[in-house]
Chains A and B, each alone.
Chain A
């Protein structure tokens, strides 16, 4: 499934956030959207899932405008993992993942939905936590639960808003590894907003660089270079290669 967005403009009140961004997200790829705070990365992925509505521009899924797709139908194609928010009434892990079946069921989920959710929980190594409330599990486990819930939607595209931001190194790697597996094994397009350039270059294969509401570069690993990073963050960096990996270090 290809997401194509053209000339997207969005503002919160009087504050313009996106200034006419355009691009194509092709099927089965792992995209990382990087850029400084407040540059419109999160806003862009929320627009792509119709959570926010752009003031101008078009977003199409395989050539069909998302405005013409019913919310429930869109939810069968595109899933979204939000930044971790405060949990007020914590559901258990199973019930949280089961929420992902919402677009596929009428009133309440049935046996088929429960079986699918059990399988996903098993695949993501969450079986031991299945009856635990989500406020009783670690940040990394919670992030896996959110991804499991998104996978229960059986989407073609998975959008994630800073899935590693509140995690320690071990869980950051675990979550990114999981996303890579999902991308490769299930052929789901992954689009993640991420701050850590080294994690991004290690796992993602396509990059979108944003600054002040505009896309300044996009492409493969070659776009993560000293010049672009300096333009993005106004900081001198050095790109170091080690084996097949490249690392970005501040000078």
Chain B
């Protein structure tokens, strides 16, 4: 309940903080269709999609991280660890370079500035990586270790491929690739947040429906199987669904690091290891964290807005180290 209240307060802060002079007092009249057109545009087409994108991305990334950590029984699990972000980054870089090449040679001029092709390519490569990993794991018996190992190998492979794209790109393309690498909620629109919502709702419904099944995996694959769970199927569908949520988020907004990794751990510390609480808690804390990070990103060196991915990395990396050292100390 407290989480929801804080989320509401942060959402209002997210809607009103900025250089336009829009305040909390203006919101009711704008909601009623009154007020000036500029303020309405700012509220409904810039701030609102951005706040909603922060909430939805926070939910998608953190819940995906939580369920993947559970199904592969590894605290370092997340769609990013499975190579998805590296693959998406390569997809975006490839699209940027190919579109640039096409434009230089007079091919498909109309596509030159199409951000959707870059998004589509990032999404396709991210999901292709997931299918490759799950297919490989299924072939090798779907062990959690296989998934992690395959993820590390594919991350390295796609990282090298992205470096190659950067090497052969020109200055403009290189800038576009680097810019895409930083997760930025400034790319949020009403259309892409709606799309994200359509993907997230059934995915979250699947995770919540399977909370008890996911809990059985904590007892090990053999015990889960003896409890009537089809372990391989549950693991595969969960990884694919979590990857879908993450791939859509990454394709629209870029790589927002650490949310999927640290939020589930923070949640477990606060609510324990019961999957029902871990999943719902991760959703709330993930939304809060990304919303707060985005407000910081917009205000810390205002009027310059820095990509939220940089903020989450700055907060996430030291915090994760703290968790790690604290755990070692506890042992």
A70 to B225, CA, bound (A): 12
- We find that the number of chain B residues with CB closer than 8 angstroms to chain A is 27
Contacting pair B272 A99 (CB below 8 A): no
Contacting pair A72 B228 (CB below 8 A): yes
A107 to B206, CA, bound (A): 11
Contacting pair B226 A51 (CB below 8 A): yes
| Most central of B69, B211, B216, B219 by chain A CB within 10 Å | B219
Q: Which B295-326 residues have a C-beta within 8 angstroms of A?
A: none
Contacting pair B73 A88 (CB below 8 A): yes
Q: Which of A74, A85, A90, A96 contacts B228 (CB 8 A)?
A: A74
**A-B contact number at CB 8 A:** 86
Does A95 lie at the interface of the complex (its beta carbon under 8 Å from any beta carbon of B)?
yes
Contacting pair A91 B274 (CB below 8 A): yes
Contacting pair A89 B70 (CB below 8 A): yes
Contacting pair B273 A133 (CB below 8 A): yes
Q: Which B243-278 residues have a C-beta within 8 angstroms of A?
A: 268, 272-274, 276
B201-216: CB near A (< 8 Å → 1, else 0) gives 0000000010111011
Does B115 lie at the interface of the complex (its beta carbon under 8 Å from any beta carbon of A)?
no
Taking CB as reference atom, which chain B residue is nearest A105?
Answer: B212
Does B135 lie at the interface of the complex (its beta carbon under 8 Å from any beta carbon of A)?
no
* Chain A residues closer than 8 Å to B272, beta-carbon distance: 91-92, 133
A82 to B213, CA, bound (A): 18
Contacting pair A75 B220 (CB below 8 A): no
A167 to B222, CA, bound (A): 21
Known interface pairs A82-B223, A99-B227; A90-B273 also in contact (CB < 8 Å) = yes
A54-81: CB near B (< 8 Å → 1, else 0) gives 0000000000000000111111101111
Contacting pair B212 A107 (CB below 8 A): yes
A44 to B228, CA, bound (A): 18
Does A103 lie at the interface of the complex (its beta carbon under 8 Å from any beta carbon of B)?
yes
Taking CB as reference atom, which chain A residue is nearest B278?
Answer: A89
* Chain B residues closer than 8 Å to A154, beta-carbon distance: none
Taking CB as reference atom, which chain B residue is nearest A70?
Answer: B228
Does A38 lie at the interface of the complex (its beta carbon under 8 Å from any beta carbon of B)?
no
Can you list 5 contacts pairing A with B, beta carbon distance less than 8 Å?
A74-B228, A80-B226, A91-B218, A105-B212, A109-B212
